[in-house]
Amino acid sequence: MATEHNQDLAFEIGFYEGILAEDPDFVDALVPLAEAYTKAGLSEKGLEADLRLARLCPDDPTVHYNLACSYALTGRRDEALATLERAIELGYRDAGFMLKDSDLVSLHEDERFAELIARFFPDMDLDIS
């Protein structure tokens, strides 16, 4: 089953990379490519795609949220927290998901994460488990 999943991801990555070879700024291909890279464990490539998306969509809160996740997955905690704050400032509001998102687990031990959630979502229960 895992092999089939890996083959599917490899196909998906190749498909979107092919589209982007023709049109490097095609956002509708970059979004699923970044996600596929991350699912395939290619966190650095996912980060590169998310950085491109942030340049193309500088005011998109979901793009910045995903970039924060990529930073967290690649061990860049300071960048992850700053970008997560930017995503919230731009309108990202799913605090409950932030607390449960496995991509952000590395931030849960950082007091700045709890402070960020508390500042923007003062009524939120900070049960990070």
Residue boundaries of the structural domains of the chain: 1-42, 58-129
Distances (CA, A) of 28 to 32, 56, 74, 86: 7, 11, 24, 22
pLDDT digits (tens, 9 = 90+) for 41-73: 999 999 999 999 999 999 999 999 999 999 999
What average pLDDT does the segment 104-109 reach?
Answer: 95
Among 23-37, 79-93, 113-127, which is the least confidently predicted range?
113-127
What average pLDDT does the segment 94-121 reach?
Answer: 95
- pTM (global) more than 0.85: yes
> From the CB of residue 13, how many other CB atoms can be counted at a distance below 10 Å?
18
The single residue listed with the structure tokens 């031990």 is 109
CA 101 to chain centre: 10
Q: What is the mean pLDDT of the chain?
A: 94
Percent of the chain exceeding pLDDT 90 equals 88
Distance CA 78, CA 56 (A): 22
Model pLDDT, residue 127: 65
